[in-house]
Amino acid sequence: MTAVTQESLRVFVVEVLQAMGLSGEDADIFGNALIFSELRFHPGHGQGVKKLRRYQKRFSQNLFDPGALWEVVKESPALALVDAHNGLGTVAAARAMQLAIEKAKVCGIGQVVVRNSTHFGSSAVHACLAAEAGCIGIAFTNAGPEMAPWGAREGAVGTNPWGIAAPTGLGFPAVLDIALTTAGKGMMRWHADEGQLIPLDWALTPEGEETDDPEAAMAGALLGIGRYKGYGLAFMTDVLTGVIGGGGYGLTPYADPKKWDVSHTLIAIDIEWFMPLDEFRQRMDDFTDMVKSRALRPGFTEVLIPGEQEARRVTRKSVMGIPLENAVLDDLRALGAELGVGAEIIVVGPWEDDAL
What tens digit of pLDDT does each residue of 237-261 get?
Answer: 999 999 999 999 999 999 999 999 9
In a domain, 192, yes or no: no
What residue type is 269 in one-letter code? I
In a domain, 307, yes or no: no
Q: Which of 176, 133, 171 is nearest to 315 (CA)?
A: 171
**What's the full length of the chain, in residues?**
356
- Say if residue 25 is in the same domain as residue 153: no
* CA–CA separation, 150 and 152 (whole Å): 6
SS3 assignment, position 204: strand
In a domain, 194, yes or no: no
| Domain housing 352 | 1-62+321-356
pTM: 0.94
Domain boundary among 277, 293, 309: 293
- Say if residue 163 is in the same domain as residue 244: yes
- Say if residue 42 is in the same domain as residue 146: no
- Say if residue 260 is in the same domain as residue 237: yes
Q: Model confidence at 112, in pLDDT bands (50, 70, 90)?
A: very high
* CA–CA separation, 347 and 97 (whole Å): 34
In a domain, 210, yes or no: no
DSSP letters for 70-127: -EEEEE-SSEEEEE-TT--HHHHHHHHHHHHHHHHHHHSEEEEEEEEE-----HHHHH
- Say if residue 232 is in the same domain as residue 88: yes
- Provide the pLDDT for residue 43: 64
- Provide the pLDDT for residue 117: 97
Residues of the chain above pLDDT 70, percent: 98
- Say if residue 10 is in the same domain as residue 116: no
Q: Mean pLDDT across the chain, nearest whole number?
A: 94
- Say if residue 101 is in the same domain as residue 166: yes
Q: Model confidence at 67, in pLDDT bands (50, 70, 90)?
A: confident
What residue type is 152 in one-letter code? A
Q: Are 111 and 266 in contact (CB under 8 A)?
A: yes
- Say if residue 173 is in the same domain as residue 241: yes
- Say if residue 6 is in the same domain as residue 72: no
The answer, yes or no, to whether residue 41 has pLDDT greater than 70, is yes
What residue type is 16 in one-letter code? V
* CA–CA separation, 14 and 349 (whole Å): 23
CATH no. for residue 342?
1.10.1530.10
- Provide the pLDDT for residue 45: 61
Residues of the chain above pLDDT 90, percent: 88
What is the number of structural domains in the chain? Answer: 2
In a domain, 8, yes or no: yes
- Provide the pLDDT for residue 44: 58
- What is the average per-residue pLDDT within 174-191? 91
- Say if residue 16 is in the same domain as residue 163: no
In a domain, 250, yes or no: yes
What tens digit of pLDDT does each residue of 157-166 get?
Answer: 999 999 999 9
Q: Model confidence at 186, in pLDDT bands (50, 70, 90)?
A: confident
The answer, yes or no, to whether residue 353 has pLDDT greater than 80, is no
- Say if residue 142 is in the same domain as residue 99: yes
Q: Which long-range contacts (CB under 8 A, 24 or more apart) does 61-65 make?
A: 63/257, 63/258, 64/88, 64/118, 64/258, 64/260
DSSP 88: -
What tens digit of pLDDT does each residue of 322-346 get?
Answer: 999 999 999 999 999 999 999 999 9
Strands 174-178 and 162-166: antiparallel
CATH no. for residue 132?
3.30.1370.60
Q: Which of 165, 204, 159 is nearest to 183 (CA)?
A: 159
